[in-house]
Structure 1
Amino acid sequence: MQHPAENPWKTVSHENVYDNPWINVTEYQVINPSGNPGIYGKIHFKNVAIGVIPLDTDMNTYLVGQYRYVLNQYCWEIPEGGGPEGSDPLESAKRELLEETGLKATEWTEILQMHLSNSVSDELSIIYLARGLQQHEAEPEDTEDLLVNKIPFEEVYRMVNAGEITDSVTVAAVLKIKLMQLENRL
């Protein structure tokens, strides 16, 4: 697909307005594509979002339930977390799977990379399929109060389609796995 090579936005100045160990927020004074002055805020994530969809030989997967502070609600999602910028995302995926579910996998396949909200943030997500599962002891972080459920993949697919699961990483992972299943690529 063809697209313009030059950025139509012009940055006049920028100011860091917030910074913590996980995010940085910058406000930009800009000239927008129509030539008018404006502002643009950018949230920079200091981690890569990592998602893991574990599948066993019977096509069961594992969902993690937890209360999401920002949404003020309980959510079910695939094992996910963050890996520091510059680190190996596969090692982060292995750590997250073990932390949240107690599972280790012998087969890993990267199935998807996506930006989670490209209008206000640069957050990148990398999603892996984990196979060859072995149960070990979970190692949750002290901020995590998790429930883990082993569920048939088709039930999780139904939950996504019914809108019962709304986490974007989980939705994307489940739909990608379903597509791979339909194309006989699993």
Structure 2
Amino acid sequence: MTFYPTDRLALFIDGANLYSAAKAMGFDIDYRKLLEEFRKRGVLIRAYYYTALVEQEEYSPIRPLVDWLDYNGYRLVTKAAREYTDSQGRKRWRGDMDVEIAVDMMEMAASADHLVLFSGDGDFRCLVEAVQRKGARVTVVSTVKSQPPMASDDLRRQADNFVDLADLADIIGRPSRLPRFIQESRAAERDHAEDSEADAEV
């Protein structure tokens, strides 16, 4: 990544997109480490996190993360997810945050030197081009190492820099939290393998 110590930085994190990319890479994002890393790379003036929330649910698995981010240096931008029915008749939720991200990036281009977009969505290509015309540099963080790739080729070409999320795994990542039954199963497999090795030595 090309950053200068005097760069005024702003981060724009498409929560759902980043979650999917990290999941495809097999790790979880440590948002404390992410903030610390970019504070080292310049003058961080704002870190936005965008996500849609299902308001009717008594408990949302994303709510603890959203609350933590809100108290720990991130500017939360949320809206209610819309319910729809897919082609199989299953209830699904949709919450597109593209407009909110576009508005904030255009506004911040006037006061930031370097904008970092955590999304591979090709719909942002025109936005990146518009921000660049205002004089800001843009780095896109996503991945092409997943199957299929999460980052649009058009977006990668438009950005001043592209950083593959896989290359940041050791810096801002932590191992994925597996369900307990999988953890226990893997532990049992390791124990069995160690017992087998001990028997073989005898």
Question: Shorter-chain TM-score: what band?
Answer: under 0.3
| The structure with more helix, counted as a fraction of residues | 2
TM-score normalized with structure 2 length: 0.23
Q: Per chain length, whose mean CA-contact separation is higher, i.e. which structure has more relative contact order (CA < 8 Å, sep 6+)?
A: 2
TM-score normalized with structure 1 length: 0.24
